Amino acid sequence: MKNRKRKFCPYCGNKIAQQYEEDILRDYCGVCNIFFYDNPLPVVSTILAEERKILLVKRGNKPYKGKWCPPMGFAETDESIEEAALRELEEETGIKGKITNLVDVDSGNNYFYGDLIFLTFEAVQIGGKLSPGSDSVAVKYFPIEKIPRLAFDSNIKAINTYKESKSDYWAIVDSFSAAVNESHASKKRDLISDRLVDIIQENAVVIVQNWLKDIVKSRSTPTYRSFDRKKLSESTYSVLLQFTKWAGEFHTDKAARSINVRSYFMKFGKEKRNEGFELHEVFSALSLTRKYIWEFALYHGISSKKPLDIYMAFEFDRRMMIFFDRATFYTTLGYMDRKN
């Protein structure tokens, strides 16, 4: 049991006394003239994950017998902390591992062991075969969102820290998979850049106002200078909402989205021709629309240079590129169509 007090010096057998050292009361042997230090015991644990599942072991010994926890145990004399973590991993699960990262450091007091310091590492499997060891009665991978009640509070803290450290990476992976996977098109799948699409839709009026200030001054769009500004604003507002609608339906059937863009911009091109705009002016106007969407999204939607934000910007730019490439193509077809 913990907190057993020293009674005799292990070196000379003299009775232990207590004496202050730098304002701390410690065990002391007057014969040997040495202080004895009570330090927290180092406990190592390892998070081994596979497809967002974490390997846990069911404890076979006290304390918390029958509870689940990551492979863990005490560091021994003459071994490094990393060596201890990998040894415990192999002893309790049969898995040979390699340390990749320090996940968490914590301290606590346990009724059984006393003061402890917990060091949790992330590791990958490099060998071995999964099987329970002498100190465990079962080993199992649990989904990260369905972790059972764990033996130690420090285990919970470490796994939560691990989840937080992976959250951006998992979000990017999920968003990339949703963006490139055309199967199950009817099923809604969130993209990271959906947040930017929402920002654009909510601020469409502001973006159109910024666009209008530029379009009536640009040398590349002379006809726009004398055109009715209300109609210009309404037309560009419609284009902008067409973009947010298309981007919001990015998860739906690809063919249906193409038909919607085609019909809208074929009509748009004909209208611009009938209103007296040169085709190159229409291209410039669409390019400026894209510019102000992009600038507003970056300024108001991305707050840092974190990998998640950088990926979100790239993903949003890809969606804009696809949309405006199609918009320009179908606008040209509509403009050149002289049947109507």
Check whether 256 has a pLDDT greater than 80. Answer: no
277-290 tens-digit pLDDT:
999 999 999 999 99
**Does 9 lie in the same domain as 62?**
no
Report if residue 189 sits inside a domain.
Answer: no
Give the chain's end-to-end CA distance (angstroms, integer): 93
Give 300-330 pLDDT, tens digit per residue: 877 667 788 888 888 888 889 999 999 999 9
Which residues on adjacent β-strands are paired with residue 48? Answer: 123
184-208: average pLDDT: 77
DSSP 104-146: EEEEEEETTTEEEEEEEEEEEEEEE-----TTEEEEEEEETT-
The full length of the chain comes to 340
Range of the domain at 33: 1-38
- The first and second tokens of residue 240, run together, are 């902008």
DSSP-assigned beta bridge partners for residue 69: 57
CATH number at residue 87: 3.90.79.10
Domain assignment present for 185: no
**Structure tokens that stand for 52 in this block:** 């967002």
* Whether 172 and 230 share a structural domain: no
* 215 and 321, same domain (yes or no): yes
Looking at the 3D structure of the chain, how many domains does it have? 3
Is 198 in the same domain as 331?
Answer: yes
Most confident of 89-93, 112-116, 313-317: 89-93
- Residue at 188 is within a domain: no
- Report which DSSP code applies to 29: E
Same domain, 90 and 2: no
Q: Could you tell me if 227 and 329 lie in one domain? A: yes
- Answer yes or no: do 133 and 264 share one domain: no
Question: Residues 122, 3: one domain?
Answer: no
Residue type, 145: E
Same domain, 172 and 226: no
- 186 domain residue, yes or no: no
CB atoms within 10 A of CB 160: 12
Q: What is the pLDDT of residues 125-158, one digit of tens each?
A: 999 999 998 778 899 999 999 999 998 899 999 9
Instruction: Looking at the structure, tell me whether residues 59 and 169 fall in a common domain.
Output: yes
| Residue 51 pLDDT > 50 | yes
Q: Are residues 276 and 213 in the same domain?
A: yes
Q: Find the mean pLDDT for residues 263-274.
A: 95
Give me the chain's average pLDDT, please. 87
Residue 187: inside a domain? no
What letter does residue 188 receive in the DSSP assignment? -
Q: Are 323 and 258 in contact (CB under 8 A)?
A: no
In a domain, 220, yes or no: yes
Q: Is residue 71 part of a domain?
A: yes
Query: What is the rounded average pLDDT of the residues 197-208?
Result: 92
Q: Of 105-109, 157-161, 175-179, which range is least confident?
A: 175-179
Helix (H) or strand (E) holding 301: helix 279-301
| Lowest-confidence segment of 95-104, 243-252, 266-275 by average pLDDT | 243-252
> Which candidate, 193, 169, 199, 168, places its Cα nearest to that of 179?
193
Return the CATH number at 324: 1.10.490
Banded pLDDT at 252 (limits 50, 70, 90): low
pLDDT at 248: 79
pLDDT at residue 188 tops 60: no
Average pLDDT of the residues in 231-260: 79
Q: Give a yes or no: residue 274 inside a domain.
A: yes
**Residue environment code for 187-206, b if the CB has 16+ CB neighbours within 10 A, otherwise e:** eeeebbbbebbebbbebbee
Please report, for the domain that includes residue 15, its CATH number.
2.20.70
When pLDDT is cut at 50, 70 and 90, the band that residue 180 belongs to is low
113 and 199 share a domain? no
Of 177, 207, 233, the position where a domain reaches its end is 177
Q: Is the entire prediction scored with pTM above 0.85? A: no
